[in-house]
Structure 1
Amino acid sequence: MDAEFIVTKVGEFIFSKFLESLYENLAVPKFWDFVRGQGLQENLDKWRTTLPAIQKMLDNAEEKQYTDVDVKKWLDDLRDLIYDVDDVVDELTTEVSTAENEARPSKVQKFTPSTWRTSLIPSYFEIDGRLRSKIEEATDRLNDILTREGQLNLKETAGGWSRMKTEVEAPTSVPREPHVYGREKDKETVLELLLAEKCSEAGVTVIHILGMGGIGKTTLAQLLFNDEKVHSFFDLKAWACVSEDFDIDRVTKAILQSLNHENCDGMDRNSLQVKLRERLNGKKYLVILDDVWNENYDKWTSLLAPFLGGAPESRIIIATRNEGVALTTCGTNYQAHRLQGLSEDDCLSLFTQHALNTSNFSAYPTLQDIGEKIVEKCQGLPLAAKTLGGLLRTTRDRAEWEKVLKSKIWNIREESNGILPALMLSYHHLPSHLKRCFAYCSIFPKDYEFEEEQLVLLWMAEGLIQSREGDKQMEDLGSDYFRALLSRSFFNQSSVWKSRFVMHDLINDLAQSVAGEICFRMDDQIGGSDGSRLPKKARHSSYLGAEYDSIEKFEAFFGLKYLRTFLPLMLSRRGRCYLTHNVPLQLLPKLLCLRVLSLSGYSIVELLDSIGNLKHLRYLDLSYTQIRGLPESTTTLYNLQTLILKNCQFLKELPSKLGNLVNLRHLNILNAKKLEGVPPQIGKLTFLHTLSNLIVGKDNYSVLKEVGSLLHLRGTLIISRLENAIGLSNASDAKLIEKLNLTKLSLEWSVDVDDSQDRTSELEVLNMLQPNEALKKLTISWYGGTQFSTWLKGHSFPQMVLLRIENCKKCTSLPPVGQLPSLEQLFIEGMASVKNVDKEFYGNGSSQPFRSLKILHFEDMKEWENWSPNGGFPHLLEFFIGKCPKLKKLPIGPSPSLEVIYIEGMDNVKNIGPEFYGEGCSQPFGSLK
């Protein structure tokens, strides 16, 4: 029974919303016009009338699957059928879109089934053969499933099995732990070991935090890492996650980046270790190695070699569940602390914090007895209490809490599947749309750190996010899904990068279990002769990329003709990894069901025309590759939603008919530095949400006008090569002032524009590119006018937090930005003609200029001579000034919150006078560190 449960949960996660989406597609009138024109109506009528009935049976089947192996088999077969039906429906709807798109230029043509048929002669004959056969086969399988359903006595239910209600407002931001329960004594015990004055002559001390998965080892390590006593005791601190793969280069690189915040990509092991040894030499350091599994002695010896030159008081903390690791790494300086489960009271407090946002049941006394019984079943495991609390945070209904308490899942023994019943129960009670999204995450390796945007775009491509007309945009709905899983502790924020997230190892195991054979991760040990281990009807796959990925690695993929996801991850040398030519030449043309295709990080130089045959494709990632261009066939991928060409350093042009990609929502061409411009008719991409860089080409300056029709643009927009914006009216037609959802704008002229020519007309262009007042970040660079636009002043942008003005070499004064009420960061660089910074800069006598400013940065202002004081900066934290050789005085005080001052290349500043501190101020820099 236990094994059946794990496998058949796949059915529930995929079916209910999937069927609903299919049924909606089958109900579109335009789709049926096409179907009738192809003579396919009888079979698809069967699908349209049968699928809703099957959907109603699923709730009943879910309850019976625990005890009936035949129900399990029925659900498994239904899963495969639904995927195949979805492929067929998607292909048919694509034919409709193709016909409509290709017929669009003829304004007088009437769209009829016969019109579509004659405009798509090759596809029409293909439908008569291959696709027609698939439809008939799927109909036969559907009939078989219906017959078996009658034998299984799966009755339709009106309401189905009750789920957690979601009427309670769900959290919308990253949850913060208000308190860590039950670890005060553990923290003090390990602190004593860390801060002990007695040092061993043998060198660094290794301290092990031992405990089972989910017990809170990482939480304790984080408490120690951020403790003020630890901060003052050690010269250096670093954090790295080791994980099962124990990649020495990756871990060493992570430690260096934690210490220096520098990029170590491309360095070999010797260079990495030499650099780390130099950084640690003679220093009293603390290095925390989290999530350690591997006990390979040779690997540990190699990893720890650079640590031996540190000061005797240095410490290494290793958080591990593996006793063997402790024995391998202990040496003569071994200390250990074993974590136990939380006390019942602490576990209860943690549970109520996540379930009720309070530490006890005083406000909800009717739930207390049930909550206490649920917590008993968590057996002191913090992860279980936290996850179940997250599950119940959306309801205060006693009946719903009782269903969790009385669930059959508690009877599943952990030994039978390796999954804690409490975690399985948390998954079991998720809404069906969240189940599907969570199970998809099983393609991520353990400890893989992902970003919200990346995952949401993948969910969209796989059809896991469905928004009806009038509802939220898919991106916003996906963000809601992500935050819901985050609030229920299925995701955790990265301890290193705040923009990234990770799944706990046990949660990752849970995702793999519920996804079953639908998703698989291929590691380096699987492939070639081991390919038989891969499920033949797997739909989603990922693998860890290597510097050289040969054909042996991909042999198993040739049998996976239904694959939807081809996703390499964690390439060791992004942009300089090599992929066997058999993948683009032989493998990809066979994977006709692909929705997601990534070749990111490989040094490929071109795509074949056969890319146009991947009609289902929604997501194409070619970032960090060496491609020079895209084949024109790419523009026939009418379903494409996301095209990522970030850091394609050799990309020179985009396909001329890019405007045909009418469903494109995200176009990322950031740092494609050789790209000469975006093609004409980009205004046809009316669903576009992300346009990372609008490059104004020499022969296409009217492209600014087309931006006006892109009503959904959001996030960040760069407009570059603005020296080509010759037609002034076109600049105003961009209608930036109407784009409410743009939060970050960068207006860029090119570096190599001839400064000897008259550039005064650029002011008129700048005037016409006025953004909406909702803008939060603005950059203006290499602008050639002598003054700034009047829209950049005072209270024009109440939400602006960052302003960067750089290399506008002809401007003689700075804009009056002192009254921007929310401005926190101001960067002024390369302003070669500015001689005076006076009251205009502060806001012409404003009583509270720069009232929110925290970071002020001046650099490379060669002619700057005078800086008029204006009462300091009340909330400034960091001040940098450099390479301003003619400036004599620095009137920045009083600034009572200032913590950091950095001054360099100020040749004319001979003395620090009263104006520096603020005349008459007793504590001008009260917070200076």
Structure 2
Amino acid sequence: MVDAKPISTALCTKTVIAKGDTPLFEDCSKYRSIVGGLQYLTMTRPDIAFAVNKLCQFMHAPAQSHWAAVKRLLRYVKQTLHYGIFLNATAKPVLQAFADADWAGSVDDRRSTSGLVVYLGSNLLCWRAQKQKIVSRSSTDAEYKALADASAELVWICSLLKELRVSIPEAPILWCDNLGATFNSYEADDFLDEIAYKLEFKEVHHTCSDQQRNLLIASIHPCRKVIGNHMKAKLEEILGRLEFLLRQKDALGLVERAGKTTNYFLVDDSGIHGRTEDKEANISSVLSEAANRRHLGVVPIIGMGGVGKTTLAQLVYNDNRVKQQFGEFRAWVCVSEEFDVFKLTRSIFKEMGFYDCDSLTPNQLQVELEEKVRGQKIMLVLDDVWNDNYAEWDHLLAPLNSVAQGSKVVVTTRIQSVASVMSSVASPIHKLKESNDDDCWSLFAMHAFDDCSPSSYPDLVEIGSRISGKYKGLPLAAKTIGGLLRCKRDAGEWGKILESNTWDLPNDNIIPALRLSYHCLPPHLKQCFAYCAMFPKDFKFKKEDLVLLWMAEEFVLQANQVRDTETIAAEYFEDLVSRSFFQKFQRPDFPNCFVMHDLIHDLARSISGEFCFNGEEVNSGVPTNRTRHLYHGGIQFGEHVNLAQFMGVKVEVLRSLICYPNAQRHLQNKISRLRQLRVPDVFLYGGEDGISNLVAGSKRLRLMRLRGRSLERLPTNVTTLCKLQTLMVEDCQRLTTLPESIGNLKHLRHLSLARASMRLLPDSVEKLKDLRYLDLRGSEIERLPESICGMYYLQTSILRYCTQLVEFPYKMMDLINLCHLHIEGTTNVKYMPVQMGKLSKLQTLTRFVVGKQRANSFSLREFGELRNLQGRLELRNLENAVDEQSALGENLKEKKGLAELLFYWERNGANSDDDSTIDRIVLQHLQPHLNMRFVKISGYRGSSFPDWVGDSSYSNIVRMELRGCRHCTSLPPLGQLPSLEELLIKYFDSLVSVGPEFFNGSCSSTSQPSFKSLKKLEFERMPQWKEWICDDADGQRISFPLLKTLRIWECPKLSKINHLSLPLQRLATGGCNKLMTTGRLRWGLHELPSLSTLQLRDAQDVESFPGKKILLPSSLTDIEIYNLPNLKSLDCEGLKHLASIQTLEFWMCPKLESIPEEGLPSSLSYLEIRSCPLLEE
């Protein structure tokens, strides 16, 4: 071989060598000697390991083809003599392994070959390629066997390195496809569903006797031969995989435990941005003398991972004021998820400076600690707490009961329940929110640009601002990504980071920091959380919808029959909210919605891997055979994902499909293949045929949501879905009826027919005995069948805006489990059904109609029996309350669960003054509980209000509306309501003056400000209102200290307003001619430093703006002028000093001729002129 020609590959990929090759090689000893020598060479030449191991398989009877492969390998070695293993020093010796396997690579016995390599830093420690001992029935099985072998090797190497005293600072990493276990669980679940479906099918078709049923259930055991051989083999395969995983888990000694991180209390203040207010608030709590647990107070800091809880605690801990107050008796202990009372007590003992404690027993240690801190004022920081067990907390804090008044424990945690369990000992909880964009950018720039000025790199600043905005207020992310880009000045590198997924970033510690929150979840919450990865970022989650999806996927564990599945699933959601996995979406147009922070969504995606697919994201790739849950909104489907390509793979394994119009058209020809589908949420172009095809192929549906205006009739085969729990047919405006066989859906729990055109329900709905939720909102239903009263499990009925509904079923009192009845907008209902008081579980009743006296109506006396009402309640047609108001009022005052109460009197043209006294008596007896947050009074005809309206004891009221009280001559003392933030007063026809009684009910002086929380105040349609007196007799009253918005509309006789609130930001007036002519000089607008928006409209006599001697504040940014028909000129002197003005609008000013010759302020960026013909010319 000395003169042989070198070659670049070890084995020929086109030639297959196997046992039984002929002819045989005559010199077996030579073959064995050379191959044996090559085995030693593999110790430093891993590149030939596979080839050598392959050749070793033929030692007993080598063939000529095998000998040729040996010679080829020797030629390769000659070519690569410079190859080898070199050991290099490494600063951070990270131990990591890579494992993989082929599938059935051996042509002789179909066994797979596993391969692994282990690195210490950049040095290769060991490697191996070997044939697996048993045949793997799938690629997943083979990969998991390779993973188990690699795990065992890692455990052995860790033990060896420990004996050699080689320190490994981090846990070893095993790189592999780690979703196989989930894949196994899905296949097992699908198989059991197949068995269950056969049982249900036989029962529905009455072909399965009890004896046959028992025999079929018993046949699930793999030893029975009743079921088909293919099902038996499949079950054996699944059980084999699961048993293999359990054996490996036990053999390796694996336990469910997350890693513990250590945080230190020293921090550089210069690297903190935007936490001054949070810091001062917490320092104030720490330094306060208040305490509720003898002498010990607890200050909880709550927030999601990476938001800066530990950093904030560090700032408080190191503040000089804190050091001065607590001296040496300060301690910082990192708790993490392991809450060991003995270890924590020992850490506290040592942190306090008492080191001699190693020989003490737990009891001795607590006694000793108690003596050491007795009478001392201490501060203890417990960082990163996860335990919410009250007994363990009480045990830990027991030795600290002897401390001095004013001692504090600061607790940082991600879990709301940790603070809640300590509520009896806690100061007000400080929930740390995300940083704003400017602070995040400052932190990012400080770490990314080091000592350089960002202005020197304008291209990087633009990319960097987008990077910092991407992580939405998490300081940890800004700091980490900034550090990753430190000293890198290539825009391409920054662009890669911008486009990368968070979990793909090198040396990233964001996802690991957040993953700890995931690891500490109980198993049932882990799958619920990972499921949410299917939805796009910024998706608006509704609790009710997500609960139904989790139920359909059978993620909800029901330990007993006492509590229903919906309640348990709702608790799952609340638990995830308390752990900051979901956040409340703070926008009024999306009530009761939640969102995931982008990084939490990235965490969910990194966990779910290929099993959840969202086709809307640019980098989402394509679905695979492992995809089980697919979402696409359909707006641009096809640009990023070729759904047709996906339909060519294993589409029948899909379990969830949420797919909207533009995406759904790709499904038409494939929809019958979705045999494992549980959750279809689709628009169907095919109408009835499309649904029929879907049902024909998917007999396992548990939740089906269909939308589309073309649907006129629900196919009958929908009623054959024996597992269906939720049926939602929404926005089908042509749907007028349901199949008579709808009663066959015996497991149906949730039925929604929102915005359908049906007027009646079929009588067969009475067979839906398991129904819990019925939603008919916006439909044309006229009457509910009496048979519906046999749904004894019904808990929620939604009839919002069913404007054709005229009455409720007579026996509605039989719905003994009804908890929620939503009937707002049912304008044709004139009375409530008789004996509704028997609905003792009713919590939500959004509308109560006081009917005229009749035998079949619900009386006000019975209303008091509804003791559990909560939330919002409208009391309608109060003009019919004549002699029973006392009974109603006393009971209403006891209903502490109500937070919003709306009183309505409907007049129907009657306008008699004789009713004024009756209305006042009625309202007096309708006094609500002190927990009220919103009160609205509409149509009231009394001349004055009862004493409870405006009473300062209603400290929770934040919003109030008084509307259509046309006979009232005075306003109640609403200034006494300490929490009132928004007040609307409209249609007061008889009110002439607003004076001191509006503020505190008297004319005497007071040092307390009125309306001390009010932020928005509106007056509208008050035709007789002439004066507004804001001062008391001494002229010293200070009112509206926080008022931001003042709106006065259609008050033509009002001539002046004075003493406007200094914080006022928006002032709007319209239809107030006197106020905008003779009264403008008294406004004192120039004294309002925060005023940014001024809106004026509908004034007949205004000829000039702003007007002579009228100065506008320089803070104005927006001025809107509407319908001033006599406005002729703009005053240059009044406009030129507006240095902040950005928007100026003029509408419907037909006599306005020109703008000032000197021009408008240079800051103006938007000028709009409409219906001003002289200017437009």
Give TM class, smaller chain.
0.5 to 0.7
Alignment-derived partner of residue 670 in structure 1: 824
Q: Secondary structure at the match of 2:387?
A: coil
Alignment-derived partner of residue 552 in structure 1: 690
Residue identity in the other structure for 1:681 = Q
Superimposed CA distance per residue, residues 338-387 of structure 1 (whole angstroms, 9 cap, x where no aligned partner): xxx988554899xxxxxxxxxxxxxxxxxxxxxxxxx99933289x9655
Q: Tell me, yes or no, if structure 1 residue 780 matches structure 2 residue 872.
A: no
Q: Secondary structure at the match of 1:597?
A: strand
Alignment-derived partner of residue 450 in structure 1: 541
Q: Secondary structure at the match of 1:764?
A: helix
Change (3 A) 1:193 1:590: farther
Matches for 1:848-867 after TM superposition, within 5 Å: 848-867=1009-1028
Higher RCO structure, 1 or 2 (CA under 8 Å, sep 6+): 1
Deviation at 1:768, TM superposition (A): 2.1
1:650 to 804, 816, 831: 804
Change (3 A) 1:475 1:708: farther
Q: Tell me, yes or no, if structure 1 residue 567 matches structure 2 residue 658.
A: no
Alignment-derived partner of residue 690 in structure 1: 844
Deviation at 1:481, TM superposition (A): 2.3
Supply the distance in 2 between the matched residues of 1:4 and 1:590 (Cα, whole angstroms). 42
Change (3 A) 1:796 1:377: closer
Alignment-derived partner of residue 905 in structure 1: 1071
Alignment-derived partner of residue 505 in structure 2: 380
Deviation at 1:755, TM superposition (A): 1.7
Q: Tell me, yes or no, if structure 1 residue 886 matches structure 2 residue 886.
A: no
Residue identity in the other structure for 1:651 = L
Alignment-derived partner of residue 596 in structure 1: 750
Deviation at 1:794, TM superposition (A): 3.1
Residue identity in the other structure for 2:658 = R
Deviation at 1:859, TM superposition (A): 0.3
- Contact 1:458–1:619 (CA under 8 A) maintained in structure 2: no
Change (3 A) 1:174 1:541: farther
Deviation at 1:811, TM superposition (A): 2.0
Alignment-derived partner of residue 140 in structure 1: 218
Superimposed CA distance per residue, residues 46-93 of structure 1 (whole angstroms, 9 cap, x where no aligned partner): xxxxxxxxxxxxxxxxx99947998764454346678999x99xxxxx
Residue identity in the other structure for 1:540 = V
Task: Looking at secondary structure, tell me which structure has more helix per residue.
Answer: 1
Change (3 A) 1:532 1:443: farther
Residue identity in the other structure for 1:912 = G
Deviation at 1:769, TM superposition (A): 1.8
2:522 to 431, 438, 448: 431
- Contact 2:816–2:838 (CA under 8 A) maintained in structure 1: yes
Q: Tell me, yes or no, if structure 1 residue 793 matches structure 2 residue 933.
A: no
Change (3 A) 1:838 1:608: same
Change (3 A) 1:145 1:879: farther
1:771 to 928, 936, 939: 928
1:390 to 500, 510, 514: 514
- Contact 2:802–2:825 (CA under 8 A) maintained in structure 1: yes
Deviation at 1:622, TM superposition (A): 2.0
Deviation at 1:556, TM superposition (A): 1.3
Change (3 A) 1:739 1:606: same
Deviation at 1:780, TM superposition (A): 0.9
Deviation at 1:803, TM superposition (A): 0.6
Q: Tell me, yes or no, if structure 1 residue 838 matches structure 2 residue 995.
A: yes
Deviation at 1:818, TM superposition (A): 0.6
- Contact 2:833–2:858 (CA under 8 A) maintained in structure 1: no
Deviation at 1:884, TM superposition (A): 1.5
Change (3 A) 1:494 1:639: same
Residue identity in the other structure for 1:535 = R
Q: Secondary structure at the match of 2:738?
A: helix
Residue identity in the other structure for 2:191 = D
- Contact 2:480–2:509 (CA under 8 A) maintained in structure 1: no
Alignment-derived partner of residue 397 in structure 1: none
Change (3 A) 1:607 1:445: farther
Supply the distance in 1 between the matched residues of 2:533 and 2:197 (Cα, whole angstroms). 18
Residue identity in the other structure for 1:905 = G
- Contact 2:822–2:847 (CA under 8 A) maintained in structure 1: yes
Q: Tell me, yes or no, if structure 1 residue 521 matches structure 2 residue 662.
A: no
Query: Identity across aligned pairs (percent)?
Result: 28
Q: Secondary structure at the match of 2:932?
A: coil
Alignment-derived partner of residue 868 in structure 1: 1029
Supply the distance in 2 between the matched residues of 1:848 and 1:732 (Cα, whole angstroms). 35
RMSD: 5.4
Q: Tell me, yes or no, if structure 1 residue 756 matches structure 2 residue 912.
A: yes
Supply the distance in 1 between the matched residues of 2:212 and 2:866 (Cα, whole angstroms). 39
Supply the distance in 1 between the matched residues of 2:793 and 2:190 (Cα, whole angstroms). 28
Q: Secondary structure at the match of 2:903?
A: strand
Deviation at 1:460, TM superposition (A): 8.0
Change (3 A) 1:766 1:342: closer
Alignment-derived partner of residue 204 in structure 1: none
Q: Which runs of 5+ in 1 are unaligned?
A: 10-62, 89-124, 196-206, 224-340, 350-374, 394-425
- Contact 2:879–2:907 (CA under 8 A) maintained in structure 1: no
Supply the distance in 1 between the matched residues of 2:565 and 2:976 (Cα, whole angstroms). 35
Change (3 A) 1:376 1:879: closer
Residue identity in the other structure for 1:896 = L
Supply the distance in 2 between the matched residues of 1:774 and 1:387 (Cα, whole angstroms). 42
Alignment-derived partner of residue 535 in structure 1: 675
Change (3 A) 1:677 1:850: same
1:77 to 173, 191, 198: 191
- Contact 2:950–2:977 (CA under 8 A) maintained in structure 1: yes
Alignment-derived partner of residue 176 in structure 1: 434
Q: Tell me, yes or no, if structure 1 residue 484 matches structure 2 residue 576.
A: yes
- Contact 2:480–2:510 (CA under 8 A) maintained in structure 1: no
Which structure has the bigger radius of gyration? 2
- Contact 1:715–1:743 (CA under 8 A) maintained in structure 2: yes
Superimposed CA distance per residue, residues 538-595 of structure 1 (whole angstroms, 9 cap, x where no aligned partner): 443322377x944434431255555332334698999995466598227845543322
Alignment-derived partner of residue 162 in structure 1: 256
Matches for 1:14-413 after TM superposition, within 5 Å: 66=180, 73-78=187-192, 136=214, 139-140=217-218, 153=243, 162=256, 167=387, 170-172=414-416, 176-177=434-435, 180=440, 219-220=469-470, 346=482, 378-380=503-505, 388-393=512-517
Q: Which runs of 5+ in 2 are unaligned?
A: 1-99, 102-137, 145-176, 225-234, 259-336, 338-385, 389-412, 417-430, 486-499, 614-626, 630-652, 712-727, 1032-1036, 1092-1112, 1118-1177
Change (3 A) 1:603 1:447: farther
Residue identity in the other structure for 1:840 = E
Q: Tell me, yes or no, if structure 1 residue 710 matches structure 2 residue 866.
A: yes
Q: Which deviates more, 589-598 or 778-787?
A: 589-598
Q: Secondary structure at the match of 1:850?
A: coil
Deviation at 1:648, TM superposition (A): 2.3
TM-score, normalised relative to structure 1: 0.58
Deviation at 1:484, TM superposition (A): 1.9
Deviation at 1:623, TM superposition (A): 1.8
Q: Secondary structure at the match of 2:998?
A: helix
- Contact 1:635–1:661 (CA under 8 A) maintained in structure 2: yes
- Contact 2:551–2:565 (CA under 8 A) maintained in structure 1: no
Supply the distance in 1 between the matched residues of 2:739 and 2:1081 (Cα, whole angstroms). 72
Supply the distance in 2 between the matched residues of 1:672 and 1:896 (Cα, whole angstroms). 44
